[in-house]
Amino acid sequence: MARKIGLYGIIAYILYGLFFYWYLFYFADTSLPFEYEGSKADPATFLNGRELMLSEEYSKIRNLLFFLSTPFEWLFYLFVLLAGLSGAFKKWAGQSSKYKIIQTAIYTIWLTFFAFVATFPLSYISYSLSKSYNISTQSFSSWMKDELIDFWINFGTMFIIVAVLYWLMKKSQKRWWLYAWLLSVPFTLFVMFLQPVVIDPLYNDFYPLKDKQLEAKILELASEANIPSEHVFEVNMAEKTNALNAYVTGIGSNSRIVLWDTTLNRLNDEQILFIMAHEMAHYVEKHLYIGIAGYLLLSLVGLYLTYRLMNYAVNRWGEALKIPAVHDIRSFPLFLMILSMLLFVSSPVSNFVSRYQEMRADRYAIEMTGNTEAGIGTFQELSRAGLSQVNPPLLVKIFRYGHPTMLERISMIEEYEIEKMRQSEE
């Protein structure tokens, strides 16, 4: 049975990979609808021939890597179970210490290490790809340092999850999912509160905006939206990437708006103010807190479904998977596999909500600044810097895009311009 499950898993993964290779390289049409040709959203109007070619090449390969990476993670966890590695980790942990908490830490470090080794080739391919297309400027040693930071953060997080989760499972085999969710609420909020001041600085240097003239303009814009001025930071990213970005992070007193220094170097002040207005919209419209609420609701449903699916899988295939009971720590790879599958399946919904919020923020930025030219120039430069497709394939948009496509963002601004012209004529 174990061999049959493993064989079916490998066949399913190969067929899945072939489908997305065919879809991305031969079936999907990324050309613009004819009504947008020659518009400001047409990449041919702001990218040269070489940039257009590189954009298509890079996007196809990067999207294929995305679709291959997540199911590969499922296949890895399935292999860990079928090969008895999860049982071996538990055995090694038991032989190393008589203390339960140390045994849990040893089990977790082995699983984290094997997962790191298994996924390292795909991570390296992704790094090499971005390097070859001049998106990444990061040295191998710097990239490896970030990978190792990821490893230890993943280990620490996973250790806490394993220790708490399996303690709850043994205390209540029918309600552990609910208690786990209740504990996850303060834990999630605590991590989000710490992230800007503890986790993010492990990777990059953050500091208040250096350009004081630009800072004065941003502060003036922020005051119009009643946003605390101390929440604007810049981060040193030029040594790692040529891509541009700005984002909102943290909650409460640690919340802040962050600008990459690449964004500051590549865009003019008017374009940066447009981005700032966009990020301020997330504060004004409480998108961060709406996102937290949505995440917590989704995690409640996800944990309940994980509980049901784990019981079903152990009852039906427990012997083949070498899992004697759900509350045995050997079932943890199954827990991670099911949770990852549910996150992947639910991503179209969460991405749809995110795209709606981002479109609202774009609209807010246009109305706040009144500078449509800066908005269009910003999105065109974002496309150029990241070699992103203006009109990506439908499945890529559904599963990958938490922002509207550049076609949607630029055309929305053009429609706003037309609307304003009509109003002025009336």
Question: Residues with catalytic annotation?
Answer: 279, 362
Q: At what angle are helices 332-369 and 212-224 packed, to 10 degrees?
A: 90
Among 375, 384, 386, smallest CA distance to 409 is for 375
Can you tell me the distance from the alpha carbon of 355 to that of 349, in angstroms, rounded to the nearest whole number? 10
Strand duo 256-260 + 232-235: pairing: parallel
Which tokens belong to 218? 């941003």
Residue 358 counted as an annotated binding residue: yes
Strand duo 246-249 + 256-260: pairing: antiparallel
Can you tell me the distance from the alpha carbon of 34 to that of 28, in angstroms, rounded to the nearest whole number? 16
User: Does residue 166 contact residue 327 with C-beta atoms inside 8 Å?
Assistant: yes
User: Does residue 259 contact residue 235 with C-beta atoms inside 8 Å?
Assistant: yes
Sign of CA dihedral 189, 253, 204, 362: positive
From first CA to last CA, the distance across the chain in angstroms is 74
Strand duo 246-249 + 232-235: pairing: unpaired
Which tokens belong to 394? 């439908």
Supply the Cα-derived Rg of the chain in whole angstroms. 24
Among 319, 412, 300, 324, smallest CA distance to 362 is for 412
Tokens 């399946």 correspond to: 345
Can you tell me the distance from the alpha carbon of 102 to that of 323, in angstroms, rounded to the nearest whole number? 21
Count of Cβ atoms closer than 10 Å to residue 164 Cβ: 17
Which tokens belong to 209? 């905006």
Can you tell me the distance from the alpha carbon of 426 to that of 424, in angstroms, rounded to the nearest whole number? 5
Which tokens belong to 277? 């207005």
Per-residue HEC secondary structure of 201-249 comes to: HHCCCEEECCCHHHHHHHHHHHHHCCCCHHHEEEECCCCCECCCCEEEE
User: Does residue 404 contact residue 389 with C-beta atoms inside 8 Å?
Assistant: no
User: Does residue 375 contact residue 388 with C-beta atoms inside 8 Å?
Assistant: no
Please state the residue numbers annotated as binding site for Zn(2+).
278, 282, 358
Please state the residue numbers annotated as binding site.
278, 282, 358
